[in-house]
Amino acid sequence: MTSTFAPELGIGASDPQQSSTLISRAVRGEHVARRPLWVMRQAGRILPEYRALKEKHSFLELSRNAELAAEVTLLPFRHFDFDAAITFADIMSPLPALGVDLDFAPGPIIAEPIRSRAQVERLADPDALDVDQIAPEVYLCQKLVRSELPKHRALLGFGGAPLTLAAYLVEGRGVRDFPQLRAFMRAEPEAFSLLMDKLTRLVARYLIEQHRSGAEAVQVFDSWAGLLELKSWRALVRPHLLRLLETLGEAGVPRILFLHSAPQLVEEFAMLPCEVLAVDWRTDLGQLRERHPNLVMQGNLDPAIMLAPTDIVRQHVRALLASLPAQGHILNLGHGVLPNTPLESLHALLDEVHKEQQA
């Protein structure tokens, strides 16, 4: 598969603004024959081909090699007729550009967690970098994928929201409720703000370049959005997230904003500038749509339902479809697909969503 990529390089990087894929129509809130569907974390985890690749290569090897990453990005289409490909990378991929020593085991591991102002100051200034110093393999992967992907399928890029990236950088790894982060932001508010500022500028450049490389829209993952109560979030976090979204908007990059496990923030996120709001399964999507009729929404089947027998999966997909109109809805799970999800559950999900068109 990889050898056919090179001659086509760049040809497929069509103007994403002109795209008429189901996903881009849905992102713009236009009428769709049926709602588009993709699945968070569809590229890795669940696929036998991915597991075979993982026997030979580490996650870092796969994600830092553009040709291998492109191959993994395209793997789901051997099994499923999803409407979008999600670039195979990680939210942490751009951080080495700041001078961060990063490994995965399997989640992110930071060699020297950031706990002081001096450490924050030592991180590179994102604006002083050449954009090709910020995870260039990701842009190359996207150009390769775009040249292979049929025109009717969208390519999505992604990055981490500043708070979610800061959580790993300060804590050093994924830890329940990230207490070191919550201590640092209170003990060293200025250093925390400087860290958030650097992450915001880094991710903005990274995502704009992904759009230029063929990603029709980008998803900003705020997986740990819910760590704070509303008042602290507004004071310490919101200004940075707002700036990231505004910078992307000014650059014409369509934005899907995902928040996870943050019921206290759903209404706040619904007011932020983005084309699509993606929420986890804890939020009733039909009710959210009633409160925000003009907002496009993505989600939000509970990934755990996919572990149940397929008739239960079908029942819940049908209930979700019935809970809000097709226009302005991108169907997805409410969080990443669980590693032990049977492939039949995904086939059942696709089948129910595709039935809508025939109805």
| CA dihedral (239, 240, 244, 247) positive or negative | positive
Q: Binding residues for ligand 1CP, how many (CB under 6 A)? A: 20
Q: Which is nearer to ligand 1CP, 69 or 317 (CB)?
A: 69
With binding defined as CB under 6 A, does residue 88 bind ligand 1CP?
Answer: yes
With binding defined as CB under 6 A, does residue 59 bind ligand 1CP?
Answer: yes
Pick from 24, 42, 147, 210 the residue near ligand 1CP by CB under 6 A.
42
Q: Which is nearer to ligand 1CP, 43 or 217 (CB)?
A: 43
Interacting residues with ligand 1CP between 109 and 168 (CB under 6 A)? 158
- State how far the Cα of 196 lies from the Cα of 216, in Å rounded to an integer: 26
351, two tokens: 């089948």
- State how far the Cα of 115 lies from the Cα of 124, in Å rounded to an integer: 16
With binding defined as CB under 6 A, does residue 281 bind ligand 1CP?
Answer: no
Q: What is the four-CA torsion angle of 57, 59, 64, 67, rounded to 10 degrees?
A: 60
Pick from 7, 106, 150, 293 the residue near ligand 1CP by CB under 6 A.
106
293, two tokens: 């009729």
Minimal distance, residue 163 CB to ligand 1CP, in Å: 11
What's the burial of 109, exposed, middle or buried (CB within 10 Å: 0-12/13-18/19+)?
middle
Q: Which is nearer to ligand 1CP, 13 or 74 (CB)?
A: 74
Select from 10-18, 42-50, 232-240, 311-319 the region that touches ligand 1CP (CB under 6 A): 42-50
Nearest 5°: CA angle at 163, between 162 and 165?
65
Pick from 107, 189, 273, 309 the residue near ligand 1CP by CB under 6 A.
107
The one-character DSSP state at 31 is -
With binding defined as CB under 6 A, does residue 43 bind ligand 1CP?
Answer: yes
* Amino acid letter for position 314: R
Q: What are the DSSP calls for 182-225, one per residue?
A: HHHHHH-HHHHHHHHHHHHHHHHHHHHHHHHTT-SEEEEEETTG
Interacting residues with ligand 1CP between 232 and 271 (CB under 6 A)? 260
With binding defined as CB under 6 A, does residue 221 bind ligand 1CP?
Answer: yes
Q: Which is nearer to ligand 1CP, 192 or 221 (CB)?
A: 221
Where do contacts with ligand 1CP occur on this chain (CB under 6 A)? 41-45, 59, 86, 88, 90-91, 104, 106-108, 158, 174, 221, 223, 260, 336
